[in-house]
Amino acid sequence: MIQLTDVNKKFGAGANAINAVDQVNLDIEEGEIFGIIGYSGAGKSTLIRLLNGLEKPSSGTVTIAGYEMSSVSNKKLREARQKISMIFQHFNLLWSRTVKQNISFPLEIAGIKKTEREKKVNELIELVGLKGRENAYPSELSGGQKQRVGIARALANDPEVLLCDEATSALDPETTDSILDLLTSINERLGLTIVLITHEMHVIRKICHQVAVMEAGKVVETGSVLEVFQSPEAPITKRFVSQVTEPSGTEQAIAHLPTGTLVKLVFVGERTEQPVLASLIRTFPIEVSIVQGNISHTKGGAYGTLILQLIGHEKEIEEAIAHLHEQGVRTEVIGND
């Protein structure tokens, strides 16, 4: 569906040139929700402009639904853009138009007859949960309702790809979850391919199938969300993952512990439900204390972390850790006094 091959985007020239996107390669399958995460300045916004054809790569190719975005004629580019819609952080609604009129706007531009427009708009209002708010103006809506209007408007022309540029960043956590649930429902019901740009790992964890982590214009890590949570490699990925897998106060709790060996356990999928800790206590003559624990749920399954303090003879602790490995639990010694 979407393929980026050796994509570079430079701004400026010579010593002052900025490589906003640096040798990026991505494959996004049809019908999946693909997350691209990075902090400010990572190159996310430039990348999304390359996807919707507002920017052309300095080198490399961007192909969407069979269209090579940088080399197609203007007519073909317009055709390609009809297959791509976008929702924004700040909604970008027409403030002088009602909910119904905002959603209808792209259909008016496309020359769709009034009766067809009204039928389509009513279907979309139902789909995004705005029944009863058809005649309200944006100033009368909550942030979540405004984003629902933006989503409905983006779906008006039956796109194949939906680009979401920090679509939940301006919303509170509860509203964010409701919008993410809506996007998941749309993905499942319409088979729409969704590319989601964000700096929030919670968003990636909740709805994405695959993720790419960006830093300084480069994609430093890609994979299924569960794989990336289980085995993050790049330092920036580990920072993002820790935001949602390690409870706040973990470092402070560890810092005030007395002597002992600190071990971080990682459970994936069914392992999160198994009594591994009880087995450890029964089998080995060591003291086991739980320091912190957390379970996160991704599209690919559950992911849990547990930090234990083990006190006992060194040999017995080593045997206990080896036992955990044998049980399929990934372990990491993070402190040893």
Residue pair 141/99 in contact (Cβ under 8 Å)? The answer is: yes
In total, how many domains does the chain have?
A: 2
Instruction: Pick 229 or 43 by higher pLDDT.
Output: 43
Asked whether residue 275 is domain-assigned, the answer is yes
Alpha-carbon distance of 250 to 241, in angstroms, equals 14
32 and 84 fall within a common domain: yes
What average pLDDT does the segment 321-332 reach?
83
144 and 56 fall within a common domain: yes
195 and 263 fall within a common domain: no
| Boundaries of domain holding 308 | 246-336
Cα 171 from chain centre: 16
Domain at 157, CATH number: 3.40.50.300
Asked whether residue 52 is domain-assigned, the answer is yes
pTM, entire model:
0.85
What are the angstrom distances between the C-alpha of 193 and each of 83, 134, 293?
11, 27, 34
Asked whether residue 241 is domain-assigned, the answer is no
Residue 162 has pLDDT above 70, yes or no: yes
Q: Is 270 exposed, middle or buried (0-12, 13-18, 19+ CB in 10 A)?
A: exposed
196 and 287 fall within a common domain: no
Alpha-carbon distance of 196 to 144, in angstroms, equals 17
Asked whether residue 117 is domain-assigned, the answer is yes
30 and 87 fall within a common domain: yes
pLDDT tens by residue, 185-194: 999 999 999 9
Alpha-carbon distance of 120 to 122, in angstroms, equals 5
Q: Averaging pLDDT over each range in 6-15, 209-218, 251-260, 273-282, which range is the top one?
A: 209-218
214 and 89 fall within a common domain: yes
Asked whether residue 140 is domain-assigned, the answer is yes
Asked whether residue 269 is domain-assigned, the answer is yes
42 and 125 fall within a common domain: yes
Asked whether residue 307 is domain-assigned, the answer is yes
251 and 103 fall within a common domain: no
Give the mean pLDDT of the chain.
Answer: 88
Residue 39 has pLDDT above 70, yes or no: yes
Domain at 303, CATH number: 3.30.70.260
Asked whether residue 141 is domain-assigned, the answer is yes
Tell me which of 201, 236, 271 is where a domain ends.
Answer: 236
- Residues with Cβ within 8 Å of 95's Cβ and at least 6 positions away in sequence, in order, are 137, 138, 139
The pLDDT assigned to 269 comes to 64
Residue 270 has pLDDT above 80, yes or no: no
142 and 69 fall within a common domain: yes
Tell me which of 208, 236, 264 is where a domain ends.
Answer: 236
Residue 220: how many CB atoms within 10 A of its CB?
16
Alpha-carbon distance of 241 to 229, in angstroms, equals 6
257 and 219 fall within a common domain: no
267 and 218 fall within a common domain: no
pLDDT tens by residue, 83-98: 899 998 888 999 999 9
Alpha-carbon distance of 242 to 143, in angstroms, equals 28
230 and 267 fall within a common domain: no
Tell me which of 217, 236, 255 is where a domain ends.
Answer: 236
Q: What is the biggest distance separating any 2 CA atoms in the chain, rounded to whole angstroms?
A: 80
